[in-house]
Amino acid sequence: MGKKNKRREIDAESEAEFVATNDHSGDSQNANKKEKKKKQKNKNQNEIPTVSIAVAASIIDNVPTLELATRLAGQIARAATIFRINEVVVFDNKSIPGQDSTVNNSDDESSAAFFIRVLQYLETPQYLRKALFPMHNNLRFVGLLPPLDAPHHLRKHEWGSYREGVTLRERDSNSGATLVDVGLAKHVLVDQILEPGRRVTVAMGTNRNLDSDLPRQVVSSSKPREEGMYWGYQVRYAHNISSVYKDCAYKGGYDYIIGTSEHGQIIKSSDLEIPPFRHLLIAFGGLAGLEESIEEDESLKGKNAGDAFNIYLNTCPHQGSRTIRTEEAILISLQYFQEPISRTLQS
Ligand SMILES: C[S@@+](CC[C@H](N)C(=O)[O-])C[C@H]1O[C@@H](n2cnc3c(N)ncnc32)[C@H](O)[C@@H]1O
């Protein structure tokens, strides 16, 4: 993924970090330990749980035209947004990581790279796209897609406590401060000197006067989420199903992983109990399902779906069509999981 888009790295900030000490005396060491434990507990309590989905990149391979592939990626982006998904992991079935999955400027990119590009493009507020996404043949049909209309996709006349912006080359002539295009009639000054072309989240404060010289604060992209807002999804690539878990960007990894399939267990949504989690992952396979992804994964040799996931579920029993397509299964399943997830988060 290009430098300009790298800002959406998962914020490790919300993760607990112990303060190192050089004091090795017994009492103070114990006191420090207690203090550390207390801090860790408080931080864990404040941590906002996340829900990720993993989707097989191969779903793009089976689409005959660029326009239809774009529409398919758009459907996944809308499903993720409707259900407030925090992370979308696009995975391949490769035994070793390759270079061909990163988003680059060649027209001939892999299905995964294409999928990631469209997902990231749609997640980016419209006013930032020109600055953050160079023209690319694979974005030729994105204009046909319905917008995500997410809370961070604010319009020019709308005021929000946070706005996504891009840092500009041009500096404020008086203070030398970095200017940020936040999609308003005027650029705003921020409290940090940052290199141009970076996507940032800006706390807009209470001063609505855009002529004011008061710098606005650049905050972590997780800040709006900590205040209960849905602030889009991150996108990540995994070369196979096991690296979806192993390379998890959240500290501590996913603590509950759900696989979906017509071969899974049938449990009524109202009876499903998801244990308390910090980072939940729900996986969706391609044409041949998650079972093929497990079979083709060297590090899952001899394992079946029951071993690879905490639970393997059929979220649409008694289907009338012989197959439910991945994009359909994502919508059906995320609706199915909505109530069990809310119950867990409220308990
Ligand atoms: C075309 S299906 C793959 C078919 C395959 N026999 C299966 O379900 O494992 C593509 C994906 O849609 C999802 N899916 C399809 N039917 C489902 C069902 N009844 N319940 C949950 N997920 C389903 C799964 O993630 C599956 O990997």
The pLDDT tens digits of the residues spanning 114-147 come to 999 999 999 999 999 999 999 999 999 999 999 9
Q: What mean pLDDT is predicted for residues 15-28?
A: 30
Q: Is the Cβ atom of 171 under 6 angstroms away from ligand 1?
A: no
Q: Is the Cβ atom of 265 under 6 angstroms away from ligand 1?
A: no
Measured by CA distance, the residue closest to atom 6 of ligand 1 is 289
Q: Is the Cβ atom of 285 under 6 angstroms away from ligand 1?
A: yes
Dist. CA 340 → ligand 1 center (Å): 20
Residue spans per domain, the chain: 3-46, 50-150+240-346, 162-226
**29: confidence class by pLDDT, cuts 50, 70, 90:** very low
Q: Is the Cβ atom of 287 under 6 angstroms away from ligand 1?
A: yes
- Determine the residue of 267, 324, 336 to mutate for testing ligand 1's pocket, defined as the one with the most ligand atoms within 8 A of the Cβ atom: 324
Q: Is the Cβ atom of 293 under 6 angstroms away from ligand 1?
A: no
Q: Say whether 162-226 and 50-150+240-346 share the same fold.
A: no
Give the pLDDT score at 216: 96
Q: What is the pLDDT of residues 288-342, one digit of tens each?
A: 999 999 999 999 999 999 899 999 999 999 999 999 999 999 999 999 999 999 9
Any idea which fold 50-150+240-346 has? Alpha/beta knot (3.40.1280)
Q: Is the Cβ atom of 289 under 6 angstroms away from ligand 1?
A: yes
* CATH architecture for the domain at 162-226: Beta Barrel (2.40)
User: Cα(258)–Cα(311) distance, rounded to whole angstroms?
Assistant: 5
Q: What is the pLDDT of residues 185-194, one digit of tens each?
A: 999 999 999 9
User: Cα(215)–Cα(36) distance, rounded to whole angstroms?
Assistant: 34
Measured by CA distance, the residue closest to atom 3 of ligand 1 is 289
What sign has the CA pseudo-torsion 22, 26, 27, 30? positive
Q: Is the Cβ atom of 261 under 6 angstroms away from ligand 1?
A: yes
Give the pLDDT score at 174: 83
Measured by CA distance, the residue closest to atom 25 of ligand 1 is 284
Q: What is the pLDDT of residues 145-171, one digit of tens each?
A: 999 999 999 999 999 999 999 999 999
Q: Using CB atoms within 10 A of its CB, is residue 328 exposed (0-12), middle (13-18) or buried (19+)?
A: middle
Q: Is the Cβ atom of 325 under 6 angstroms away from ligand 1?
A: yes
- Is pLDDT at 95 greater than 60 in this prediction? yes
Dist. CA 288 → ligand 1 center (Å): 8
- Is pLDDT at 8 greater than 90 in this prediction? no
Close Cβ partners of 221 (under 8 Å, ≥ 6 residues apart): 7, 8, 11, 201, 231
Q: What is the pLDDT of residues 228-269, one digit of tens each?
A: 999 999 999 999 999 999 999 999 999 999 999 999 999 999
What does the block give as tokens for 242? 């096991």
Dist. CA 285 → ligand 1 center (Å): 7
Percent of the chain with pLDDT over 70: 84
In ligand 1, the atom with minimum distance to the C-alpha of 315 is 20
Q: What mean pLDDT is predicted for residues 16-29?
A: 31
Q: Is the Cβ atom of 323 under 6 angstroms away from ligand 1?
A: yes
Dist. CA 289 → ligand 1 center (Å): 6
- Is pLDDT at 19 greater than 60 in this prediction? no
Dist. CA 326 → ligand 1 center (Å): 6
Instruction: For the beta carbon of residue 182, count every other beta carbon within 10 angstroms.
Output: 25
Q: Residues 105, 81: contact at Cβ < 8 Å?
A: no
Query: Mean pLDDT, the chain, as a whole number?
Result: 87
- Is pLDDT at 9 greater than 80 in this prediction? no
